[in-house]
Structure 1
Amino acid sequence: MEEPVKAIFTECIQTQIASADLLQEPLLRAGELLVDSLLRGQKVYCCGESMAHASARHFSHIMLTGLQFDRPPFPVNALHADFGANEHQAIFAQQISAVGQPNDLLVVLSAGAQAPRVSRAMEAALSRGMLIVALTNDADQDVAGLLGPDDVEIRIPSRNAARVSEHLLQLVNMLCSLAEQQIFPQEDDA
C-alpha cells in the first residue's frame, strides 16, 4: 500500500520542480498585471471550472481578507456558480456582462481539458475590453486559445487534474503574496 502513496508524492514533487522552472516568468507577469489593475482602481473577478472553482473562491477570499498580514481588502470578487440558473453554461459570462468594465481583470482557473463556463466568461470579458489571467494545464483545450497579447497564461505542466488542482491553490496563494509584497512593501520588513 505504501508504493501508490509514494508514487503520488513523487508525481506531485516532479510537477512542483517542473513548475518552478516553467512558471516563474508568467507568474511574475500575472502578478504585475494584478497589481497594476488594483493600483489603477480596476475590479478583479475570478472564476473556475469544475474543481477549480474552489481555488477561485479561495483566491477571492485571501485577496479580500489578506494572506500574510492585516491590510485593506483588495477588490476581488469570485463569480458565483448558480446551478439553478436557466442557462448554467453562461452563468459566469452573464455576471461579467453585467459588471465588467474595460481594463478590469478576469482571473480564470481550469484543472481539466474542457472549460465551457470559463470560456464563455472569457469571451464576455474580451467583448468588454477586460484583461485576463488564465491558470491552465497541459490538457487545456478551451482557455488558452481565447487569450490575447496583453493577457497572461500560467500553464501548469501536468495533465493530471489532481496535481493541477494542488498547484492552482499554490499559484493563487503566490499571486496574493506577490500583490501584497508589491502594494505593501513596508510589511516585508516587519
Structure 2
Amino acid sequence: MIYYNTCISLSWQVLWLYLDYNLEGKLPENKLYYKSIKKCNFNELLYRLTLAKEIKLRDYYVKGFLENPLVKYIRQKYNYLKHRGTYYFSFLGLNDSSSMMFSIDNKTIPMISRISVDTEKWKKQLIDFDKLFQEYFSEIVRTVVPKDFDNTTFGLKEPVAYYNKHKEEIDKM
C-alpha cells in the first residue's frame, strides 16, 4: 500500500512538471526541478490542470480516482496502518478487544486491540484497487508520453545539437 500511495504522489509530480511551462526549453537541472516541485500539491495541481484545459484528465482521472469510494477506503486503511502498524488477521491468534486474559479483584484490565480484516474481502478490494490504479496511471502516461515515442529514432546528431543549444547553461554549471 505504501508503494501505491507513493506512486499517487509521484503521479501528481509528473503531471505538475509536464504542465510547468516555466521549464519548457530549459536544461533539466535539480535546482529548477526542486523549485517547481515544492509548489506541487493536490489543489494546485487541479488548478494547473484547469488552466491547461485538461478538464477530462482533472475530473475523470485525477479527482475521479481519488474520490472513488474504494480508493478512499484503501487510503484510509493505509493511513491507519501507517500510524498503528498492524491489522488483525484471524490466523494471527487472539485479538480480544475487551480485556487482557486475567482479572484482579474480579476487574479486567482493558486491552488495545487491532482492527480485524477479512483476508478474502481485503484481497478482492486490493485487486480492484490495483485495476483502478492501472487505469489512472495509464492515462497519466498517455498524457505525458508522445504517441509516437516508441517509433522515435535517436541518432548521434541529436546529443550534439542539444549540447549546442544549452552550451551556455552547461558552462555556467
* TM-score interval, normalised by the smaller of the two chains: under 0.3
Larger radius of gyration: 2
Q: Identify, as 1 or 2, the structure richer in helix.
A: 2
The structure whose RCO (Cα within 8 Å, separation 6+) is larger is 1
What's the TM-score once normalised by structure 2's chain length? 0.24
